[in-house]
Structure 1
Amino acid sequence: MSKYRLKVGAARKDVTPLPSMFPFKQADLNGDGQYTYARQAIHLRAVILDNGVKRFLFLVSETECGNLHYIKKYAMEKYGITEDYISFSNTHSHSCPLKAVYDPGTTLEEMNREVKMGEFGPESPVQQNEWDYGKYCFEQSIAAIDDAVANLKPARFGHAEGKSYINISRDELLPNGQYAFGTNPERPSDKTLSVLKFVDENGSMIAGIINYAVHSTMGFRVKDKDGNMAAYGDLAGEIANFVEEAYAIRGEETVVAWTIAAGANQTPVHSFFHTYHPDGSWEPDERYNHYLGEYMWKLSAHMAARQGNDALKVFDSISKLKENIRIDVAERYLKLPATKVTNWGLPQLFDDREIDDSKMHNVDVPNQFVYIGLKLIKIGDLPVFCYEGEMMVEIGMRLKEAAPLKNLVIVTCYQPAVDRDLHDRFHGSHYYVDKWGFENHTPSYGRNPVKDAITEEKVTEAMFDMFDEILNPDI
């Protein structure tokens, strides 16, 4: 038997808030909106690769995980999965509760004694239902790992790329020369649909990973006919569910995790519906803390079915699968100087019309830094690049073009293994614009925390360094 004979196990767990955990405020982005019920089940999925030498864990959630530090500690102590061989990412759905705060090492009362700073100032105390939800997500994460390990079986692996046309650049140029959130078919958009496929000895699907550059925000800020907001796995959850159900119809029970690629400035094609007037004025999409009813939910399901069918075609196209798979990992943690954009805050967040480019400028933040975790995983001949935060599509496309190995898969919204309690961490946003976006003040510029937009330069250097470590281990 080969030294690297692959086994794969997978599990899916429900992390929908229980009725007692509602209502939830999603974040400042909601305004006064509250989630009062769940539209559909929200899921967390675990996929474990075991080649007899190392185990690698992909943990993908449609919401928060509860407490990643303790989850990783559990995986190490019980299953010998080291922190560098774990990738946790979320699908970046704003339609799920994002405040899943829980720490087994303390109490809610103790946690609230210290005021924590957020992007827009002091954060509100953690509420009991938020604490309970965090504990629930934590417990479900542990259960998913347990089940994935228990489900390990001999497997073969293959990967392929296709195309899916459900995204578009959201850097829209307005008549006044200013950029705002919207749609722009002339700006770059990556249509690449990447899939990883794991099958058992009979050829039945054990697990799949889908990767695509688009925000999972179709149901974001939508209120129903009664004025209530619904927690929802959104576009990512709909796509994963569609593909899993399609395989179930084929008689194959599988777990399919959807991951977001370099999609920080990529929106679903049918996502924004601004109102424009002949005099050049405009009104932002009424979904912003207003009402569009079930229309956006139906559009989300429609777009998900389109990509779901695209994904099924790509999965079915994979004919070359290997059972002996080497897994190599390299990690880096960048420390970059921080910047703050003045004259940008909550008013501009709630209404793009409040943005005034002539008053926005960057100022240095002395002794504060932005930390970006990176992980490069080589699964057989496939490179997977994990990136903390959100990545502009232009950066992602250039990284893929420059990578020493082809078919680079970029997984964003990744959370690294290192301790995140750093005294010099800048409490800013995680939109890292490229030089063009920085100079043209695209919508993400106001939330760019890295000085002089040097993120791409430093990330590219780190990526090459990690490839050298993996491809030339003896140098």
Structure 2
Amino acid sequence: MNVGHARFDLTPNGEFYLIGFRSENRMHPASGVHDRIYCNSLLIEIDGRTMFIFSADFLEFEEAMAEDVKTMLADLYGIDRDMVLLCATHDHSSVVSYHKGWYTHKFDQRYYDFLIDIIKRSYEECRRTMVHATAQYGSKVILGYYGNRNHPGQPADNEVIVVKFVDDNGNAFAGLVNWAVHSTVISAENTWLTAEFAGNVSEKLESYFGFVPAMTVGAAGDCSNRNQRQGKNFAELERVSTGMAREIGTIDCSRNLALDRMVNQTLYHTIHTDSYHLDAKGEVIDLGDLQLFVFGGELGSRFGIEMKEECGKPALVLGYANGYYGYWLPEEEYGISFETKTSPIPAGESEKLVEKFKQASKLLSK
């Protein structure tokens, strides 16, 4: 296996607007930059196939943009379109400029072009830094910083997973962190750009790992730090990001993973009613000792736990990837939670989708 990595600054210049929360203040220019936003990328090559993971401090990626990027990278570099994963950390205080469909209509073509160029440069930098590598894995249930935001004290997916890539000299040089939590410490009243929870934890992990990991968000539809936070300001962000970085930084990653294959199965789930139509797309990628569940929606934490447990091997759930399909929570949540009251996804459809993921996982494990 060969692995390359890249990190680029995505902070806008000049006047810009924020995304997230659907707050009135998103109609006005941001106050400025509190902390900068970044993208972290990985290019993994196994037996002639490559997979590109581009993780950015954004709220989400539009599916149309993701498809354009897949085609662009396939045409330029020959990568399989299905092996391009654009992952957002779900930052609710990020920049809106790249988003063509956000309700505030603050799209900026110059920033969009800048982002497309950054994605290409990230791929090329990953190719330049690519070296032979092995993978190491560790996980830990971390409590006290986030949990089930709809039912305080009830279970959520609090397992944090770390995958590190190690060169032939035994040095860990790149990797990723997978967790299931909304990156929403700061309140909707905030008007300053910030990398929020995920971005700040990522940057602080450099002192523990020796590199800045890509942050990927799992089944976080009902997970946040709403019931654990001691404030909604930047002081609280500093407290929780420092604490989480300390917890994640000490995870034992001594388990070796044999990543010796790259096979995938794309799956589709269509919802059609008199007033709503959706063709949602997901994917399972099997790398040998590791599987990835890729989906552009906000799965309930129960589903993330089920999918990982039934996989039978280490697995990551990559939510907010290659599109955005809204909330997908368990049927019993309907009519109770905010997420289900506002979702056009009918009750019971989430279970059908998750069953498809489980079937694809079993198929690829054979």
TM-score past 0.5 threshold? yes
Counterpart Cα distance in 2 of 1:99 and 1:462: 35
Query: Given the alignment of the two structures, is residue 142 of structure 1 paired with residue 104 of structure 2, yes or no?
Result: no
Gaps of 5+ in 1: 1-5, 103-115, 173-183, 224-228, 274-291, 338-364, 421-428
Residues 375-414 of structure 1 mapped to structure 2, 5 A cutoff: 375-401=283-309, 403-414=310-321
Counterpart Cα distance in 2 of 1:464 and 1:14: 36
1:241 matched residue in structure 2:
203
Query: Given the alignment of the two structures, is residue 368 of structure 1 paired with residue 276 of structure 2, yes or no?
Result: yes
Residues 143-222 of structure 1 mapped to structure 2, 5 A cutoff: 143-165=121-143, 166-171=145-150, 184-185=152-153, 187-222=154-189
TM-score with structure 1 setting the length: 0.70
Query: Given the alignment of the two structures, is residue 23 of structure 1 paired with residue 16 of structure 2, yes or no?
Result: yes
8 Å contact kept, 1:376–1:467 = yes
8 Å contact kept, 2:16–2:95 = no
The Cα offsets for residues 384-437 of structure 1, whole Å up to 9 and x where unpaired, read as 111211111122223333x23233321111116xxx9xxxxxxxx711221111
- Indicate the SS of the match to 1:189: coil
- Distance change in 2, residues 1:198/1:441 (3 Å): same
2:271 matched residue in structure 1:
336
Query: Given the alignment of the two structures, is residue 7 of structure 1 paired with residue 5 of structure 2, yes or no?
Result: no
Match of 1:261 among 213, 218, 234: 218
Match of 1:430 among 320, 326, 338: 326
2:261 matched residue in structure 1:
326
8 Å contact kept, 2:92–2:184 = yes
8 Å contact kept, 1:234–1:300 = yes
8 Å contact kept, 2:286–2:365 = no
Counterpart Cα distance in 2 of 1:91 and 1:46: 13
- Indicate the SS of the match to 2:302: helix
TM-score with structure 2 setting the length: 0.90
The Cα offsets for residues 437-457 of structure 1, whole Å up to 9 and x where unpaired, read as 11x421111222222x12332
8 Å contact kept, 1:328–1:470 = yes
Percent sequence identity over aligned pairs? 18
- 1:142 shift after superposition: 1.4
Counterpart Cα distance in 2 of 1:437 and 1:9: 42
Counterpart Cα distance in 2 of 1:198 and 1:211: 14
8 Å contact kept, 1:89–1:412 = yes
2:241 matched residue in structure 1:
304
8 Å contact kept, 2:43–2:51 = yes
Counterpart Cα distance in 2 of 1:167 and 1:28: 19
Residues 22-171 of structure 1 mapped to structure 2, 5 A cutoff: 22-27=15-20, 29-33=22-26, 34=28, 35-63=30-58, 67-101=65-99, 123=103, 125-127=105-107, 130-165=108-143, 166-171=145-150
8 Å contact kept, 1:270–1:299 = no
- 1:367 shift after superposition: 6.2
Q: Which amino acid aligns with 2:361?
A: F
- 1:206 shift after superposition: 2.0
- 1:158 shift after superposition: 1.9
- Distance change in 2, residues 1:324/1:259 (3 Å): closer
8 Å contact kept, 2:32–2:192 = yes
- Indicate the SS of the match to 1:158: strand
Counterpart Cα distance in 2 of 1:155 and 1:411: 22
8 Å contact kept, 2:218–2:319 = yes
The Cα offsets for residues 34-84 of structure 1, whole Å up to 9 and x where unpaired, read as 423111110111101012321011111112669333322232123221111
Query: Given the alignment of the two structures, is residue 456 of structure 1 paired with residue 350 of structure 2, yes or no?
Result: yes
Counterpart Cα distance in 2 of 1:23 and 1:99: 7
Q: Which amino acid aligns with 2:147?
A: I
The Cα offsets for residues 157-180 of structure 1, whole Å up to 9 and x where unpaired, read as 1222112121121115xxxxxxxx
8 Å contact kept, 1:71–1:142 = no
- 1:125 shift after superposition: 4.4
- Indicate the SS of the match to 1:60: strand
The Cα offsets for residues 70-116 of structure 1, whole Å up to 9 and x where unpaired, read as 322232123221111121110001010234147xxxxxxxxxxxxx7
Counterpart Cα distance in 2 of 1:126 and 1:193: 35
- Indicate the SS of the match to 1:209: strand
The Cα offsets for residues 241-298 of structure 1, whole Å up to 9 and x where unpaired, read as 0012434xxxx4x24011111111111156667xxxxxxxxxxxxxxxxxx8xx6212
- Distance change in 2, residues 1:135/1:270 (3 Å): farther
- CA RMSD in angstroms comes to 2.4
Q: Which amino acid aligns with 1:139?
A: D
- Distance change in 2, residues 1:98/1:461 (3 Å): same
Counterpart Cα distance in 2 of 1:82 and 1:454: 33
